[in-house]
């Protein structure tokens, strides 16, 4: 145990040389703590609702990050798993009156099981075949949600009228206690971030990345690629399932329509988040989720000033789509990748400058994440 | 001489073309065995069959008496038979140290047999310690080659299959590599190496197998093989072909 | 003819019509994949664009028989522009090309909504007669669609087999680098194939505009079916795509005819999953290096 914690401390020190703490880690920590102040900073209930949406998206995106970002497997069934979590929670809450504390693990586990069930056949193929098979499963699950009316109430979906269970005197009812619901969701968003961080630091995470980087090589070194892909997919499903509970409470319903987790639109949007944020960075999905939710808020008034005028949903989606295309073409490593590159260039320039001044060189740039 | 790996009658056809045609090989414990042959003679296919990346059409591969012919590559690797690749030999978007950590297979129920105390120990052995925080895609080719070798070592092999480790290296680098392979042998790891560069393999190996169009045509000590009329005709043939092509 | 038999024949006829449309979409997907390794999801939107352009030309007074080729040429040109502007930068990383195509779905679908609105457009009916043979009703319009599809598929096969372009395309599909060494203008061939794929999808869309009411979300449904067809047939395999189109068309119409209609998508995707599990590269795997991405 002692040895483990010592090696962990070693890892931390190696990854975060002291020189970087002031320039990156501190500003980053402040930025990450900022959402705690959101109820005080955001001027309207509408914006706080958007912050809740961002927190929910973040959990989903962090889940997708494990299977797509870390392990390199393009799952097109991820948002469907989110829906599976929401349906599980709705059924357990409506028919059996389960408390929120029980719904969260239950939804997570059911989505993880669904992920593994899809993964067992799907991971027998690779590359595009895998992507398409997951898409086919997503379509089948959507058909099930629409047609198995006894269970899912068909296209109308399931309504949930009970708010999350209160903890002692703290209530989470979304109309009168939106702040509290926001903090509850945010807590799980932070947990999901801690989750992807811990996975990245662990042997499991390194194995995922080995598979992404070079599957044959990983296999030749004794890594059971199939098993680890299943584990990654199961973990990503767990994240999505947990997020499903918050989606359900936030919308007070779950249905399989065109703007639900079962739509291709969301599948695309979550890929967009990870790509814009940076698929090779731990914070990529977080950055992407925040941009995806708040960018239209920023863009809308700006465009309102131009001759384009009112920004319809269709126009926002055109902007999203174009952004995805441009990101892939010009910044395939996303915002986080760009930032890292810029910082690396800056650090190198500084070092050169110091060397010319005859000062001691600082330690090398941080390792990639 | 104890045979650790025994290959019997191994054959592989790709769309009717015989890449391997009934090959028999014994790899002895603790030796450095060479595998040479002209392009397309089936050397890499033989390695692919032994390590489970390609299913042979016929024949068996025994590892310490156990039939491993139908096992998956990762199962074979966990039994201690680990190979390297000619290309794409490292994990590019990870640091050198992370690369070794990814491959590290140390704690396996008590007696691990792992030759190195830690990843850093292994990096020192490879002479890569100074590069450990660099991304693997950014390091020079010779270092990447060493790192590829290091990944295989980190996986705790008893038998190491090296696929043209000296390809693309200059003479000095080749000599350093030969020294490194000798040191690996001294750790008690058996080495089987494919190589094109004849002087390299002649000085390194105790025994050499020559493959030609999927068949073993010669086997023996370097000096014996070099004077084998069959081998001479095959390699001269290749040389003539090259000369007439240029 | 007995009642059961005529019901069966009716299903068979329906399967034939839908198979023709699926085959056109699948061919568009399969030629692009075979050549570049890019799975072009946005081809569904090109189909929708083809349908709406056909409708717009027809509304503007052009006859349907001219409106479809006009739309096909326009969309083919547009697809060419997309290749020049975006896809050609992703040739070394096909997965990026795939993601670009996902982005384009959003852009194109919403552009169509911006231009034509979300409502339905009533089908164009150049033929109104219906042939009745032994209790099977066969609208002439549907026969027209079947024959157009057959002729286009036949022409495509001839082009691929006997023309210089076709030979160049097959060489590029087998090994792009080797083709370049042989003096084949690879970039030109790829651009041409994107135009061809777009034109095929647009033709399918134009034909659909004469069968059903069209709406901006039309594409995704046919894209998925076209994709299932291309995969079942072996991505990159032109003959395989045609056989698979018939197979998928039959599964779907027979499934919804004799089992429950509302599960018709599940039949197709169930078939797709089942086939890919047994044969990960489809029923008739194509040759060439790109196929390795499918394992």
> Which whole-number Å values give the CA distances from A286 to A32, A58, A62, A161, A200, in the listed order?
10, 6, 7, 30, 15
Max mean pLDDT among A63-72, A321-330, B30-39 falls in A63-72
Query: What is the nearest CA distance from B206 to chain A, expressed in angstroms?
Result: 26
Name chain A contacts of C108, Cβ cutoff 8 Å: 321
pLDDT of the residue at A41: 79
Using pLDDT thresholds of 50, 70 and 90, give the confidence band for residue A361.
Answer: very low
Distance from C-alpha of B1 to C-alpha of C18, rounded to nearest angstrom: 70
pLDDT of the residue at A313: 74
Distance from C-alpha of B233 to C-alpha of A171, rounded to nearest angstrom: 88
Q: Which of C11, C12, C20, C10 is nearest to C229 (CA)?
A: C20
Sequence-ordered strand ranges (E) for chain C: 130-133, 136-139
Task: Assign B5 to helix, strand or coil.
Answer: strand
Name chain A contacts of C106, Cβ cutoff 8 Å: 265, 268, 317-318, 320-321, 324
Cα dihedral A105→A107→A111→A112 (10° resolution): 10
Note whether C75 and C199 are within 8 A (CB): yes
Using pLDDT thresholds of 50, 70 and 90, give the confidence band for residue A362.
Answer: very low
pLDDT of the residue at C292: 42
Nearest chain A residue (CA) to B93: A213
The answer as to whether C242 is a domain residue is no
Distance from C-alpha of A78 to C-alpha of A272, rounded to nearest angstrom: 13
pLDDT of the residue at A306: 66
Are A220 and B51 in contact (CB < 8 Å)?
A: yes
pLDDT of the residue at B112: 54
The answer as to whether C98 is a domain residue is yes
pLDDT of the residue at A248: 95
More confident residue, B102 or B118: B102
Note whether B43 and B204 are within 8 A (CB): no
End position of a domain, from candidates B156, B171, B206 = B156
Task: Assign A280 to helix, strand or coil.
Answer: coil
Note whether C51 and C209 are within 8 A (CB): yes
Are B152 and A207 in contact (CB < 8 Å)?
A: no
Nearest chain A residue (CA) to B148: A217
Query: Of A278-282, B7-11, C254-258, which gets the smallest average pLDDT?
Result: C254-258
Tokens of A191: 């947990």
Q: Is the pLDDT of residue B159 over 90?
A: yes
Alpha helices in chain C (DSSP H): 3-36, 43-59, 64-85, 94-116, 140-162, 164-174, 176-181, 186-208, 218-233, 238-258, 264-278
pLDDT of the residue at B67: 95
Are A127 and C109 in contact (CB < 8 Å)?
A: no
Q: Is the pLDDT of residue B111 over 90?
A: no
**B246 and B173 in one domain?**
yes
Number of domains in chain C: 1
Number of domains in chain B: 2
The answer as to whether C164 is a domain residue is yes
pLDDT-above-90 percentage for chain A: 43
pLDDT of the residue at C2: 73
Note whether A70 and A232 are within 8 A (CB): yes
More confident residue, B15 or A269: A269
Are B98 and A367 in contact (CB < 8 Å)?
A: yes
Note whether C100 and C48 are within 8 A (CB): no
**B181 and B71 in one domain?**
yes
End position of a domain, from candidates B156, B178, B197 = B156
Could you tell me the residue range of the domain that residue B105 belongs to? 87-156
Are A128 and C262 in contact (CB < 8 Å)?
A: no
Name chain A contacts of C227, Cβ cutoff 8 Å: 132
Nearest to A129 among C89, C106, C295 (CB): C295
Backbone angles phi, psi at C132, to 5 degrees: -110, 115
pLDDT of the residue at C1: 58
pLDDT of the residue at B77: 95
Q: Is C132 exposed, middle or buried (0-12, 13-18, 19+ CB in 10 A)?
A: exposed
End position of a domain, from candidates B114, B135, B156 = B156
**B127 and B107 in one domain?**
yes
Query: Which CATH code is given to the segment(s) A45-357?
Result: 1.10.3470
Note whether B204 and B182 are within 8 A (CB): yes
Q: Residues of chain A whose C-beta is under 8 A from some C-beta in C? A: 74, 121, 124-129, 131-133, 135-137, 139-140, 143-144, 146-147, 258, 264-265, 268, 271-272, 275, 312, 314-315, 317-318, 320-325, 328-329, 332
- H or E element in which residue B200 lies: helix B198-204
**B139 and B21 in one domain?**
no
The answer as to whether C158 is a domain residue is yes
Rg (CA), chain B: 18
**B225 and B166 in one domain?**
yes
Q: What end-to-end distance do the CA atoms of chain B give, in Å? A: 45
* Chains in contact with B, counting 3 or more C-beta pairs less than 8 Å apart as contact: A
Note whether C249 and C233 are within 8 A (CB): no
Q: Please count the residues of chain C.
A: 295
- CATH number of the domain residue B15 falls in: 3.40.50.300
Name chain A contacts of B102, Cβ cutoff 8 Å: 206-207, 209-210, 218, 221
Chain mean position to CA B148? 11
**B58 and B165 in one domain?**
yes
Query: What is the nearest CA distance from C162 to chain A, expressed in angstroms?
Result: 31
pLDDT of the residue at A360: 46
Nearest to B78 among A14, A222, A367 (CB): A222
Tokens of C274: 């089942």
Q: Please count the residues of chain A.
A: 369
Residue A3 contacts B, CB cutoff 8 Å: no
Rounded to an integer, the average pLDDT of B194-203 is 85
* Count of alpha carbons within 13 angstroms of residue A287, beta-carbon side: 19
User: Low-confidence residues of chain C, pLDDT below 50?
Assistant: 289-295
Question: Can you say whether the dihedral through the CA atoms of A181, A184, A187, A192 is positive or negative?
Answer: negative
Could you tell me the residue range of the domain that residue C126 belongs to? 20-218+285-294
Residue A16 contacts B, CB cutoff 8 Å: no
**B162 and B45 in one domain?**
yes
- Number of Cβ pairs closer than 8 Å across A and B? 81
Q: How many helices (H) and strands (E) does chain B have?
A: 9, 10
pLDDT of the residue at A295: 82
**B118 and B49 in one domain?**
no
The answer as to whether C6 is a domain residue is no
Q: What is the pLDDT of residues A144-199, one digit of tens each?
A: 999 888 888 888 889 998 888 877 777 787 777 788 899 999 999 999 999 999 99
Q: Is B142 exposed, middle or buried (0-12, 13-18, 19+ CB in 10 A)?
A: middle
Calculate the average pLDDT of chain A: 84
Chain mean position to CA A210? 21
Name chain B contacts of A218, Cβ cutoff 8 Å: 91, 102
Are A329 and C100 in contact (CB < 8 Å)?
A: yes
Residues 73-112, chain B, touching A (beta carbon < 8 A): 73-74, 77-78, 82-85, 88-95, 97-98, 101-103, 105
* Chains in contact with C, counting 3 or more C-beta pairs less than 8 Å apart as contact: A
Matching residue, tokens 């020079």: B140
Interface mutation target, options A4, A207, A221, chain B, most CBs of B under 10 Å: A221
Nearest chain A residue (CA) to C266: A140
Note whether B115 and A220 are within 8 A (CB): no
Note whether B182 and B176 are within 8 A (CB): no
Distance from C-alpha of C27 to C-alpha of C154, rounded to nearest angstrom: 12
**B95 and B76 in one domain?**
no
pLDDT of the residue at B161: 96
Distance from C-alpha of A234 to C-alpha of C283, rounded to nearest angstrom: 30
Nearest chain C residue (CA) to A68: C95
Tokens of B245: 């092509």
Q: What is the pLDDT of residues A78-88, one digit of tens each?
A: 999 999 999 99
Are B152 and A221 in contact (CB < 8 Å)?
A: yes
Note whether B135 and B94 are within 8 A (CB): yes
Nearest chain A residue (CA) to C42: A321
Matching residue, tokens 């450095």: B32
More confident residue, A25 or C294: A25
pLDDT of the residue at B113: 61
Q: How many helices (H) and strands (E) does chain C have?
A: 11, 2
Query: Of A71-80, A96-105, A350-359, C140-149, which gets the smallest average pLDDT?
Result: A350-359
Q: Is the pLDDT of residue A128 over 80?
A: no
* Count of alpha carbons within 13 angstroms of residue B239, beta-carbon side: 7
Query: Of A352-366, B228-242, C217-231, which gets the smallest average pLDDT?
Result: A352-366
Question: Can you say whether the dihedral through the CA atoms of A296, A298, A304, A308 is positive or negative?
Answer: negative
Residues 273-332, chain A, touching B (beta carbon < 8 A): 280
Nearest to A125 among C39, C107, C276 (CB): C276
């Amino acid at each position: 145990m002692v040895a483990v914690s010592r090696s962990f401390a070693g890892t931390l020190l190696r990854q975060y040389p002291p020189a970087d703490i002031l320039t990156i880690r501190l500003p980053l920590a402040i930025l990450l703590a900022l959402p705690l102040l959101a109820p005080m900073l955001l001027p309207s209930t509408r914006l706080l609702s958007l912050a809740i949406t961002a927190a929910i998206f973040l959990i989903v995106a962090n889940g997708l990050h494990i299977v797509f970002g870390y392990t390199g497997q393009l799952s097109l069934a991820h948002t469907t798993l989110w829906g599976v979590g929401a349906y599980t929670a709705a059924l357990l809450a409506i028919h059996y009156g389960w408390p929120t504390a029980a719904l969260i693990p239950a939804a997570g586990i059911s989505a993880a099981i669904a992920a593994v069930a899809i993964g067992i056949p799907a991971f027998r193929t690779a590359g595009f075949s895998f992507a398409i098979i997951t898409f086919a499963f997503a379509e089948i699950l959507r058909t099930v949600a629409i047609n198995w009316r006894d269970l899912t109430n068909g296209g109308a979906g399931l309504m949930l009228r009970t708010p999350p269970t209160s903890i002692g005197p703290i209530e989470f009812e979304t109309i009168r206690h939106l702040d509290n619901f926001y903090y509850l969701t945010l807590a799980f968003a932070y947990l999901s971030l801690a989750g992807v961080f811990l996975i990245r630091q662990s042997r499991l995470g390194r194995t995922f990345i080995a598979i992404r980087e070079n599957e044959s090589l990983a296999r030749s070194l004794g890594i059971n690629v199939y098993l680890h892909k299943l584990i990654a997919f199961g973990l990503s499903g767990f994240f999505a399932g947990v997020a499903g509970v918050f989606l359900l409470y936030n919308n007070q319903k779950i249905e399989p329509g065109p703007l639900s987790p079962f739509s291709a639109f969301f599948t695309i949007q979550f890929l967009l988040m990870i790509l814009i944020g940076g698929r090779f960075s731990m914070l990529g999905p977080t950055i992407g989720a925040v941009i995806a939710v708040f960018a239209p808020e920023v863009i809308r008034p700006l465009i309102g000033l131009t001759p384009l005028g009112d920004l319809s949903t269709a126009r926002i989606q055109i902007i999203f789509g174009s952004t995805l295309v441009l990101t892939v073409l010009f910044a395939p490593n996303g915002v986080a990748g760009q930032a890292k590159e810029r910082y690396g260039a800056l650090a190198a320039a500084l070092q050169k400058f110091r060397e010319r001044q005859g000062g001691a060189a600082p330690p090398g740039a941080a390792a990639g994440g | 001489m104890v045979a650790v790996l025994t290959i019997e009658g191994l054959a592989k056809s790709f769309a009717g073309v015989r890449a391997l045609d009934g090959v028999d090989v014994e790899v002895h414990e603790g030796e450095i065995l060479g595998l040479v042959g002209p392009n397309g003679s089936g050397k890499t296919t033989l390695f692919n069959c032994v390590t489970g990346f390609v299913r042979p059409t016929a024949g068996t591969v025994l590892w310490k008496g156990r039939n491993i012919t139908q096992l998956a590559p990762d199962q074979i690797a966990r039994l201690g038979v680990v190979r390297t690749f000619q290309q794409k030999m490292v994990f590019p978007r990870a640091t050198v140290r992370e690369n070794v950590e990814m491959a590290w297979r140390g704690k396996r129920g008590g007696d691990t047999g792992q030759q190195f105390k830690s990843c850093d120990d292994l990096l020192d052995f490879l002479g890569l310690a100074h590069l450990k925080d660099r991304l693997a895609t950014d390091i020079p080719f010779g270092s990447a080659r060493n790192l590829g070798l290091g990944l295989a070592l980190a996986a705790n092999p008893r038998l190491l299959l090296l696929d043209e480790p000296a390809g693309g290296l200059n003479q000095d680098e080749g000599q350093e590599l030969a020294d490194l392979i000798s040191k690996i042998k001294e750790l008690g790891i058996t080495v089987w190496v494919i190589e094109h560069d004849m002087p390299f393999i002649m000085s390194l190996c105790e025994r050499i197998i020559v493959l030609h169009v999927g068949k073993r045509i010669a086997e023996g000590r370097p000096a014996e093989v070099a004077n084998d009329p069959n081998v001479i005709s095959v390699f001269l043939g290749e040389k003539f072909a090259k000369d007439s092509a240029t | 003819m007995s009642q059961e038999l005529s019901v069966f024949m009716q299903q068979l006829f329906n399967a034939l019509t839908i198979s023709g449309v699926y085959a056109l979409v699948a061919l568009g997907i399969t030629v692009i994949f075979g050549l570049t390794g890019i799975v072009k999801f946005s081809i569904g939107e090109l189909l929708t664009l083809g349908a709406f352009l056909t409708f717009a030309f027809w509304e503007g007074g052009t006859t349907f028989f001219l409106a479809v080729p006009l739309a096909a040429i326009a969309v083919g040109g547009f697809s060419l522009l997309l290749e020049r502007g975006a896809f050609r930068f992703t040739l070394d990383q096909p997965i990026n090309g795939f993601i670009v195509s996902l982005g384009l779905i959003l852009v194109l679908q919403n552009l169509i909504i911006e231009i034509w609105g979300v409502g339905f457009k009533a089908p164009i009916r150049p033929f109104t007669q219906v042939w009745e043979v032994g209790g099977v009703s066969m609208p002439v319009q549907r026969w027209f669609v079947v024959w157009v599809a057959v002729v286009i598929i036949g022409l495509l096969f001839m082009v691929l087999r006997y023309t210089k372009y076709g030979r160049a395309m097959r060489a590029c599909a087998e090994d792009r680098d080797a083709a370049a060494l042989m003096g084949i203008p690879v970039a030109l061939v790829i651009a041409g194939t994107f135009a061809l794929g777009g034109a095929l999808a647009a033709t399918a869309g134009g034909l659909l505009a004469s069968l059903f009411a069209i709406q901006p979300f039309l594409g995704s449904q046919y894209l998925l079916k076209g994709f299932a067809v291309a995969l079942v047939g072996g991505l990159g395999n032109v003959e395989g795509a045609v056989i698979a189109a018939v197979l998928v068309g039959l599964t779907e119409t027979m499934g919804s005819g004799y089992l429950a209609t509302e599960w018709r998508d599940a039949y197709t995707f169930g078939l797709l999953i089942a086939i890919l599990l047994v044969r990960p590269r489809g029923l008739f795997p194509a040759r060439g290096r790109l196929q390795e991405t499918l394992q």
